[in-house]
């Protein structure tokens, strides 16, 4: 992959690309451990197919569209044909090796959604944290939900080697097209319960290893940037942990079951802090899923890396 910009802090090293405003590498320098699926040598088509490391939008996840003239509704996944992770963003700013900002735009109606929309994403390294800020503005009321789609490994070869804890007591129910209905399903007593740290290997044979669920974060931990982790992913084999903090209300957890050669299924996990999937179409997400004309929204995701 070309056009990489390298960032560095005392603890972390990162590489980002203008294509998809993507995070392509994250390295824990102290232990020389690569924390992500490294997309720097992958073909662009494969990166785009699986959104590897990209900035996802204008609406992350599945969004049901109005019925067409044929009487059928369509479903946009991660923005459909005008997906932000498929675009070459413009480098707006870089400050030596600590921060970089990219911008791009979509015209009114492009991708089937209203509004002349402007987008920005910045990556900043501060000690053991990578801070991602996602911004959008619009000329018309429009659905907006942005996220980062990094695939985390923490140095493991399979998600079965990792442990996960999520501060969420429910997941969103979905319909026959995997669109969120707004129904909130309690995870207590089910294989989806990660309120206490659990090995992902414990899910074998129970369907939980194939995670692709939207966890509704506890209200006290969303809104403004959470000061405590909403999720912790850890690798007991090397003692490295990822702590996720965010201002977003949901965390889509995906165990990469659909990756194909030269990548391996279940070789990484995505923790996508985002708005409510299909939010404009259910009461739980309706208010915050629409960005009003003339307004700007900024969301933040913080990845902190620690070791024992």
- Residue 81 has what pLDDT? 81
- Residue 203 has what pLDDT? 57
Domains of the chain: 4-307 (2.70.98.10)
**DSSP count for the chain of H helices, then E strands:** 2, 24
pLDDT, one tens digit per residue, over 140-188 is 999 999 999 999 999 999 999 999 999 999 999 999 889 999 999 999 9
Q: How confident is the model at residue 38 (pLDDT cuts 50, 70, 90)?
A: confident
Q: How confident is the model at residue 1 (pLDDT cuts 50, 70, 90)?
A: low
Q: How far apart are CA 42 and CA 15, in angstroms?
A: 14
Of 242 and 112, the one with more pLDDT: 242
Q: How confident is the model at residue 226 (pLDDT cuts 50, 70, 90)?
A: low
Q: How many degrees, rounded to 5, is the angle at CA 21 between CA 17 and CA 22?
A: 65
Q: Is the pLDDT of residue 118 over 80?
A: yes
Rounded mean pLDDT, 212-218: 94
Q: How far apart are CA 48 and CA 85, in angstroms?
A: 7
Of 50 and 74, the one with more pLDDT: 50
Q: How far apart are CA 174 and CA 42, in angstroms?
A: 32
């Amino acid at each position: 992959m070309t056009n990489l910009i390298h960032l560095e802090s005392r603890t972390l090293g990162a590489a980002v690309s203008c294509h998809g405003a993507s995070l392509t590498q994250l390295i824990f320098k102290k232990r020389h451990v690569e924390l992500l699926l490294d997309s720097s040598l992958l073909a662009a088509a494969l990166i785009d197919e699986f959104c590897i490391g990209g900035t996802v939008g204008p609406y992350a996840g599945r969004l049901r569209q109005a019925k067409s003239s044929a009487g059928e509704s369509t479903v946009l996944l991660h923005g459909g044909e005008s997906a932000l992770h498929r675009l070459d963003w413009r480098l707006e700013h870089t400050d030596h090796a600590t921060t970089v900002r990219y911008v791009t735009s979509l015209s009114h109606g492009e991708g089937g959604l209203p509004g002349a929309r402007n987008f920005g994403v910045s990556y900043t390294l501060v000690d053991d944290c990578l801070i991602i800020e996602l911004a959008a503005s619009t000329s018309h009321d429009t659905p907006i939900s942005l996220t980062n789609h990094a695939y985390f490994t923490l140095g493991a070869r399979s998600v079965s080697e990792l442990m996960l804890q999520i501060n969420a007591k429910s997941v969103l129910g979905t319909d026959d097209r995997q669109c969120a209905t707004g129904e909130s399903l309690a995870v207590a007593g089910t294989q989806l319960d990660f309120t206490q740290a659990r090995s992902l290997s414990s899910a074998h044979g129970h369907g939980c290893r194939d995670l692709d669920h939207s966890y509704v974060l506890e209200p006290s931990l969303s809104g403004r940037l959470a000061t405590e982790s909403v999720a912790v992913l850890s690798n007991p084999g090397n003692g490295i942990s990822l702590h996720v903090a965010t201002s977003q209300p949901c965390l889509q957890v995906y165990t990469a079951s659909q990756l194909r050669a030269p990548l391996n299924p279940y070789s990484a996990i995505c923790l996508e802090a985002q708005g409510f999937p299909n939010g404009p179409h259910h009461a739980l997400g309706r208010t915050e899923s629409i960005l009003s004309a003339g307004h700007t929204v900024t969301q933040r995701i913080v990845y902190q890396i620690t070791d024992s």
